[in-house]
Amino acid sequence: MRISTLLGKAAAMLSGAGVATPRLDAELIAQQALGISAIAMLVDADMPVEQERADRFFALLDRRLSGEPVSHILGKREFWGMDFAVNSDVLDPRADTESVVSSAIKIYKNQNRNLTIADLGTGTGCILIALLSHYRHATGVAFEKSVKAYRVARQNFVRHSMLARVKLRCASWERCEGKFDLIVSNPPYIRRCKIPGLQREVRQHEPLRALDGGVRGMEAYTQIFKVLKKCLRPSGRAILEIGEDQSTIRDEALRWNIGFCNYEYDLAGRKRCIILKLLPGA
């Protein structure tokens, strides 16, 4: 069987299973199973595939057809131009979350600034690692209370040579101490009643604790406001990812004497981040 035939057959099977990006998924799985690059896959499209490699390809394809995310099959996911190790113990990095990083870069334009950054619920570590890759003199503290997720985060900090600039703590963000210029977080924010309606690959293969924001989708933010009051510098900023269920977050932050700066929007034009600061007297 030729590479082109293999890809066509796989894409048709994935499409029939309701996968949103069948061709792309087929190509990514082929690169992994056949050990070839995206360019080689195009140039050598008519090249026959050895049976052993074809068997490996279809074994991985079966996992995708069962609903397992491509990122888990590959063991990695791209974020901010870098690859991050992922598995079912951590939330997959998503393109929308890059708005947290881009928001920080808009606020702190000096790339050489010695920023101190806290990442609450670091997961894969992707947000903090992306920020540290941009701000070469910055340092950070990452909090992750899940032992399994902590191990994935540590793997990524080592992979990107960031461990020397980070204190990685296997602890709840409520244990945060000290003062920070920037506090970032992508907390769980999906209302509990919406969890059963999530895509199968999200619902079955990503950790519930990283998705479930409680009855109103606001539980994590209330905890974070307490951290901001204690640990955000008077001149600092907090950048928190939000979703459609956080329409009241601006008013709720104000009750904690935490002020609203602005929203940042994702590529689809939806509010994706809220930028906050401490108000005088906080």
- CATH value at residue 61: 1.10.8
| Residues 81 and 109 occupy one common structural domain | yes
Domain end, chosen from 35, 66, 97, is at 66
- Claim to verify: residue 217 and residue 266 sit in the same structural domain: yes
CA distance 274 to 240: 5
Summarize pLDDT for 194-228 with one digit per residue, the tens: 999 999 999 999 999 999 999 999 999 999 999 99
Whether residues 62 and 131 fall in one domain: no
Q: Are residues 14 and 86 in the same domain?
A: no
pLDDT band at 267 (very low <50, low <70, confident <90, very high): confident
Give pLDDT, residue 17. 94
Residue 95 sits in the same domain as residue 217:
yes
Asked, for residue 150, whether it belongs to a domain, the answer is yes
Considering the domain boundaries, does residue 109 fall inside one? yes
Residue 229 shares a structural domain with residue 173: yes
104 within a domain of the structure (yes/no) = yes
98 is in an annotated binding site: no
Do 203 and 225 share a structural domain?
yes
- Say if 247 falls within a structural domain: yes
Find out whether 78 is annotated in a ligand binding site. Answer: no
Of the three residues 33, 66, 99, the one that is the final residue of a domain is: 66
Does 124 belong to an annotated binding site? Answer: yes
- Domain identity same for 80 and 24: no
Assess whether 123 and 32 both reside in one domain.
Answer: no
Q: In total, how many domains does the chain have?
A: 2
Specify the range with the lowest mean pLDDT, choosing from 38-47, 91-100, 149-158, 253-262.
38-47
Is 46 inside a domain boundary? yes
Domain with residue 273: its CATH number is 3.40.50.150
How far lies 154's CA from each of 123, 174, 178, 200, in Å? 10, 20, 22, 28
Question: Is 248 within any annotated ligand binding site?
Answer: no
Same-domain check for residues 54 and 93: no
Burial class (CB in 10 A: 0-12, 13-18, 19+), 192: middle
Q: CA torsion angle for 49, 55, 61, 62 (degrees, to 10)?
A: 160
Task: Looking at the structure, tell me whether residues 136 and 185 fall in a common domain.
Answer: yes
Position 239: which residue type? I
Instruction: Name the nearest CA neighbour of 143 among 190, 98, 100, 180.
Output: 180
Q: Reply yes or no on whether the pLDDT at 281 is more than 90.
A: no
pLDDT of amino acid 190? 97
User: Among 46, 66, 86, which residue terminates a domain?
Assistant: 66
Is 122 annotated as belonging to a binding site?
Answer: yes
CA distance 154 to 201: 25
- Using a cut of 0.85, tell me whether the model's pTM lies above it: yes
Residue 125 labeled ligand binder:
yes
Q: Are residues 80 and 103 in the same domain?
A: yes
- Residue partners of 21: CB distance under 8 A and separation at least 6: none
Q: Is residue 166 part of a domain?
A: yes
Q: What is the largest CA-CA distance in the chain?
A: 71
Q: What is the pLDDT of residue 159?
A: 98
Annotated binding-site residue? 123: yes
**Could you list the residue range(s) of the whole structural domain that residue 268 is in?**
76-278
Residue 189 is assigned to a ligand binding site:
yes
Amino acid identity for residue 67 in this structure: G
pLDDT of residue 228: 98
> Are residues 164 and 129 in contact, defined by beta-carbon separation less than 8 angstroms?
no
Strand partners, 116: 139
Strands 82-85 and 232-241: unpaired
Mean pLDDT lowest among 34-43, 119-128, 130-139, 156-165:
34-43
222 a known binding residue? no
In a domain, 71, yes or no: no
pLDDT tier for residue 77 given thresholds of 50, 70 and 90 = very high
